[in-house]
C-alpha cells in the first residue's frame, strides 16, 4: 500500500537533510564517520541499497556491480570507501547537473554534443553525462589502470562501445610519460606535495599502500579540439591546462571543473580557477560543492 503523502514528504525531508549534513565541510575526527555514512547513503541510488550500504559499513573489500535507479544502467565499483563517494557525489547530490547557460549552449549546437570526460574514474559521471545528453558521444580518459579496468567493464555491461571511447592515458600540456600514484578518486600525477591520504590517514588504513604506475601522457589540447563539453577532474593537474594560452582558442562550449588545492598557483583555488577560465574567454558560475580546498564550477562561452 502506498505511503500517505505526509509520510512521503517527511521521508523526503529527512533524506535531504541527511545529504546536506553529509555534504558539509569535513573537520577533525568526524571525517571518517561522515564519509562512511555518506557512502552508505549512496546505495539509495541503486536497486540494491541495503547490499550496497552493508558492503560499505562493514568494510567488505571487493568489486561489485549495481544497477543505477535513474538510468537502469550498471555501475561497477570497489568497496569500501572511495568509489562509493563518487556515487554519492554524482548520483545522490547531482553535482554535475548543468546550469541553464550550459544547457542552452549545447542546444545551440543543433547536433548531439561531443563530450570529453577527463578523469573518468570508473564511469559514474560518464553515465550521468549520457543521461543528461542521451545522444552524446563521449571520450572517457582515465590514466589509473585499476580504475580503467572497471570503466571498461562498465562500458561492456551497458553495451556502450559505440558511444564511449575509452583512452587509458593521462593528459597534460605536452605528450610524454608520467607516474600515476594514489588509488580510486585520489589518483594523481606523482608530485612532492601533501595529499589527501596524508591528511586523512584512515584511507591508507582501509585501502593499504596505493600502487603507482607509469602511463603515457597525451597533449590535452589534442582531445579538447573535438569536444563541445568537457568535464575536467584530474586531481591538481588541471592548473597547467587552465593556464595554457591555447585554452582561449579551444573548441569547448562548456567546462565543468573540479579544482584542487594541490599545485594551485594562487592562495585560493576557487578564485584562481575562475580567473584562469575568464582569461580564456569563458563566463563562470559560482563555485559549489566546496570542501577542504576542493570544489567545482561550471564555465561556458558567452552567446554570440
Count of domains for the chain: 1
Helices (H) and strands (E) in the chain, counts: 12, 14
Report the range of poorest mean pLDDT among 88-97, 153-162, 243-252: 88-97
Strand partners, 64: 77
Those residues with Cβ within 8 angstroms of residue 225's Cβ, 6 or more apart along the chain or in another chain? 250, 251
Write the CA distances from 273 to 86, 105, 202, integer angstroms: 22, 21, 29
Q: Tell me how far apart the alpha carbons of residues 37 and 96 are, in angstroms, rounded to a whole number.
A: 21
Cell 568537457 belongs to which residue? 230
Cβ–Cβ contacts within 10 Å for residue 185, how many? 23
Strand-pair partners of 229: 115, 254
Residue 190 has what DSSP assignment? -
User: Mean pLDDT of all residues in the chain?
Assistant: 88
232, 259 in Cβ contact below 8 A?
no
pLDDT for 94 beyond 50: yes
Closest CA relative to residue 119, chosen from 214, 229, 231 = 231
pLDDT tens for each residue of 171-206: 999 999 999 988 888 888 888 777 777 777 777 788
CATH number at residue 25: 3.40.50.150
99 with 298: CB under 8 angstroms?
A: yes
How would residue 1 be classed by pLDDT, with cut points 50, 70 and 90?
very low
Domain with 197 in it: 5-300
Q: Are 26 and 35 in contact (CB under 8 A)?
A: yes
**155: three-class secondary structure by DSSP:** helix
Amino acid at each position: 500500500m502506498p505511503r500517505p503523502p505526509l509520510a512521503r514528504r517527511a521521508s523526503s525531508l529527512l533524506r535531504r537533510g541527511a545529504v546536506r549534513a553529509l555534504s558539509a565541510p569535513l573537520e577533525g575526527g568526524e571525517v571518517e564517520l561522515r564519509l562512511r555514512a555518506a557512502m552508505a547513503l549512496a546505495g539509495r541510488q541503486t536497486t540494491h541499497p541495503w547490499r550496497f550500504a552493508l558492503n560499505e559499513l562493514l568494510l567488505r573489500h571487493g568489486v561489485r556491480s549495481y544497477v543505477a535507479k535513474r538510468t537502469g544502467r550498471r555501475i561497477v565499483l570497489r568497496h569500501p570507501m572511495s568509489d562509493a563517494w563518487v556515487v554519492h557525489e554524482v548520483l545522490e547530490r547531482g553535482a554535475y547537473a548543468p546550469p541553464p547557460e550550459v544547457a542552452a549552449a549545447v542546444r545551440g549546437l543543433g547536433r548531439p554534443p561531443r563530450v570529453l570526460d577527463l578523469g573518468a574514474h570508473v564511469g559514474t559521471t560518464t553515465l550521468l553525462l549520457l543521461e543528461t545528453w542521451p545522444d552524446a558521444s563521449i571520450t572517457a580518459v582515465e590514466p589509473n589502470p585499476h580504475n580503467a579496468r572497471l570503466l571498461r567493464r562498465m562500458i561492456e555491461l551497458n553495451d556502450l562501445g559505440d558511444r564511449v571511447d575509452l583512452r587509458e592515458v593521462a593528459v597534460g600540456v605536452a605528450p610524454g610519460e608520467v607516474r600515476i600514484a594514489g588509488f580510486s578518486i585520489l589518483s594523481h600525477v606523482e608530485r612532492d606535495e601533501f595529499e589527501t591520504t596524508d591528511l586523512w590517514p584512515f584511507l591508507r588504513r582501509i585501502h593499504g599502500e596505493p600502487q603507482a604506475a607509469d602511463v603515457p601522457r597525451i597533449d590535452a589540447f589534442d582531445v579538447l579540439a573535438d569536444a563541445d563539453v568537457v568535464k575536467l577532474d584530474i586531481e591538481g593537474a588541471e592548473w597547467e591546462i587552465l593556464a595554457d594560452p591555447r585554452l582561449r582558442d579551444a573548441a569547448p562550449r562548456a567546462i565543468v571543473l573540479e579544482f584542487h588545492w594541490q599545485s594551485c598557483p594562487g592562495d585560493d583555488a576557487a578564485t584562481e580557477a575562475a580567473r584562469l577560465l575568464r582569461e580564456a574567454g569563458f563566463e563562470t558560475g559560482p563555485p559549489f560543492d566546496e570542501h577542504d580546498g576542493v570544489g567545482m564550477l561550471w564555465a561556458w562561452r558567452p552567446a554570440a
